[in-house]
Structure 1
Amino acid sequence: MSTVRSLTASCRLPRLETRMLLEQALRRPRAWLLAHDDEPLPEAAVQLFLGWVRRREAGEPMAYLLGEREFMGWVFEVTPDVLIPRPDTETLVETALDIIRDRSGVRVLDMGTGSGAIAISLALACPGAVVHASDASNAALAVARRNGERLGAAVQWRQGDWYAALADVEPGFDLIVSNPPYIACEDPHLVLGDLRFEPATALTDGADGLRDLCAIVQGAGAWLRPGGWLWLEHGWDQAPAVRALLQAHGFAEVSSRCDLAGTERISGGRL
């Protein structure tokens, strides 16, 4: 019979990953694992754990194995239908909050919402805001809706490709945010690490990495109110190009902000 002690000793994964997978397979907290490390474990849970170990050894992201990832202090469901929320994207949320915090009735749009992490985080932090979120993928929107319902966030979900999702929505947003596909289709990172397992259509635009960013900037003027803001996440080397796009399409106060690693990760401006 397998025990916590024997499984931990035989597992080649890092200790933290081993513990996290055991906790999930057994549906028990860390304190229970420590207090019952020599007790026989249910065979079904053991086989579930061993299956996850094999998948993790093959490189599958921990977030997909556990089915969740923390973002902005909230735990979001994640599946292979959505990108895994990353700390870099918290820069986008924090910048958005600087604009809308303490404003009642402010209208916000998050495009390419994926798991809903951005839209839901904004709705929870600013309950007076009217938040819309869109995605071209019905599967991604299903995940986002479940996250919104579980966390109690008031978000209006819409399916469609960029602004096409807003056919029945009045223009006049105070803020548009997006973390669109921005990796060039020939970028070698797409076949490395976690990216191998994430949805390709959420990572790359199938072109040079600027196509979707350009489409969002070009269309924003019809949907923002005068004085409204647009902020976009982008690649580590794309800030100059995105700033140029914003300036060319009538945005002022254009600037970029850095992520935790000091990389220019988001750029935005005011219409």
Structure 2
Amino acid sequence: MNTVAGVLAAAREQLSRGRAPNGPAATAGAAPAVDAPADDASAATLLDAEVLLATALGRRRSWLRAFAEHAVPDVAERQFDSWWQRRLGGEPLAYILGHREFWSLEFHVNADVLIPRPDTELLVETALAELPALPAGDVLDAGTGSGAIIVAIASELGADNPRRLLACDRSAAALAVAAKNVARHVPGRVTLIQSHWLDAIRDDSLALLVANPPYLAADDPHLDALAPEPREALVAGGDGLDDFRSLIVDAPRKLVADGSIVLEHGMAQGPAVRALLASAGYRDIQTREDLEHRERVTLARQPHS
């Protein structure tokens, strides 16, 4: 029977031989410096191995260091080996474990949805800050995926929130994931709708439209590193702006007077998104920066009719 130290040493040896996903070799702490949704899909690390082994043992990761010579039961080692080979094959840690933390909540995820990213918490913060000044109307998370955005908003608004909270996605499989997360964290407080963007949304009904649409170009060189995630949640035409164009054109008739749209985008896309909003007549266009001073979220008020 192997020990904790022995299992991790074998994993370390595999990493040193370059058996890592989406690249020639893995390095501890490696992270992609790209304008794409950053995640642990880029390269396996020893930290990943520790997380997987701790999960297989039903322990915290800190326990591994304190009990390095503890014997690993065969069943736990087999489970770890299965997960570790998937990780070495390029599958993101979140998909292997079936969950990811966002807004201090644990969300169910699988390959039908994009993995929630920390950057998107700025979108939630911006939406929550905008809501108190908005007129009566519904709140919609368009292209909800896992439901992380609308669930985070609902968790902050509380059970006595008077606004109707909606989330839509064209994928029935994604909505099934979102339904699990709604049921777990905010049961009965979010209505899920199958819709391609705003097609099934009533006119003059939304006080706030929130979206994190796909924003990578079809030929983006970093797509290979994101291959395990649904391409339709990542790519939007030749310049990455097709879905922004659709939302910006369609939103005015869905928003109530003085309603707002809040959009997450790539760090280099702020000028293009502001230009699209301005050309469509939106008012009070503003962009928010993330903690690294990169433009990430742009908001605007409905155009005057």
8 Å contact kept, 1:234–1:266: yes
What residue identity is the alignment partner of 2:101?
Answer: E
8 Å contact kept, 1:78–1:143: yes
8 Å contact kept, 1:253–1:270: yes
- Structure 1 residue 150 displacement after superposition: 1.1
Partner of 2:19: none
**Which structure 1 segments of 5+ residues have no match?**
none
8 Å contact kept, 1:81–1:139: yes
Distance (whole Å) between structure 1 residues aligned to residue 290 and residue 67 of structure 2:
41
Distance (whole Å) between structure 2 residues aligned to residue 57 and residue 36 of structure 1:
25
Partner of 2:9: 9
- Structure 1 residue 101 displacement after superposition: 5.1
Describe how 1:18-37 pairs up with structure 2 within 5 A: 18-30=49-61, 33=64, 37=68
8 Å contact kept, 2:203–2:255: no
CA deviations on 1:215-256 (whole Å, 9 max, x unpaired) are 001011111111110011112221111111111222111011
Partner of 2:154: 123
Partner of 1:165: 200
Do structure 1's residue 149 and structure 2's residue 180 form an aligned pair? no
What residue identity is the alignment partner of 2:263?
Answer: L
What residue identity is the alignment partner of 1:10?
Answer: A
CA deviations on 1:175-195 (whole Å, 9 max, x unpaired) are 001001111101111112xx1
Describe how 1:175-194 pairs up with structure 2 within 5 A: 175-192=208-225
1:265 is paired with a residue of what secondary structure? strand
Partner of 2:139: 108
What's the RMSD between the two structures over aligned residues?
2.1
1:221 pairs, out of 245, 252, 273, with 252
Q: Which deviates more from structure 2 when the two are superposed, residues 77-86 or residues 56-65?
A: 56-65
Distance (whole Å) between structure 1 residues aligned to residue 108 and residue 136 of structure 2:
28
1:99 is paired with a residue of what secondary structure? helix
- Structure 1 residue 123 displacement after superposition: 0.6
2:253 is paired with a residue of what secondary structure? coil
- Structure 1 residue 104 displacement after superposition: 10
8 Å contact kept, 1:258–1:266: yes
**Which structure 2 segments of 5+ residues have no match?**
16-44
Give the structure with the higher percent helix. 1
> What is the percent sequence identity of the aligned residues?
45
8 Å contact kept, 1:141–1:159: yes
Partner of 1:202: 233
Partner of 1:45: 76
Do structure 1's residue 266 and structure 2's residue 300 form an aligned pair? no
TM-score scaled by length of structure 2: 0.81
Distance (whole Å) between structure 2 residues aligned to residue 226 and residue 103 of structure 1:
9
- Structure 1 residue 162 displacement after superposition: 0.6
Distance (whole Å) between structure 1 residues aligned to residue 63 and residue 278 of structure 2:
57
8 Å contact kept, 1:100–1:106: no
Distance (whole Å) between structure 2 residues aligned to residue 102 and residue 217 of structure 1:
21
2:59 is paired with a residue of what secondary structure? coil
- Structure 1 residue 214 displacement after superposition: 0.5
8 Å contact kept, 2:134–2:207: no
Distance (whole Å) between structure 2 residues aligned to residue 101 and residue 218 of structure 1:
25
1:242 pairs, out of 255, 263, 273, with 273
- Structure 1 residue 32 displacement after superposition: 5.0
Aligned residue pairs, count: 267
Distance (whole Å) between structure 2 residues aligned to residue 245 and residue 59 of structure 1:
36
What residue identity is the alignment partner of 2:207?
Answer: D
1:255 pairs, out of 277, 281, 286, with 286
- Structure 1 residue 120 displacement after superposition: 0.4
- Structure 1 residue 31 displacement after superposition: 5.7
Partner of 2:88: 57
Distance (whole Å) between structure 2 residues aligned to residue 33 and residue 187 of structure 1:
39
| Distance change >3 Å, CA 28–CA 106, structure 1 → 2 | farther
Distance (whole Å) between structure 1 residues aligned to residue 217 and residue 62 of structure 2:
45
- Structure 1 residue 5 displacement after superposition: 2.5
What residue identity is the alignment partner of 2:219?
Answer: E
8 Å contact kept, 2:99–2:106: yes
Distance (whole Å) between structure 2 residues aligned to residue 73 and residue 16 of structure 1:
20
What residue identity is the alignment partner of 2:240?
Answer: G
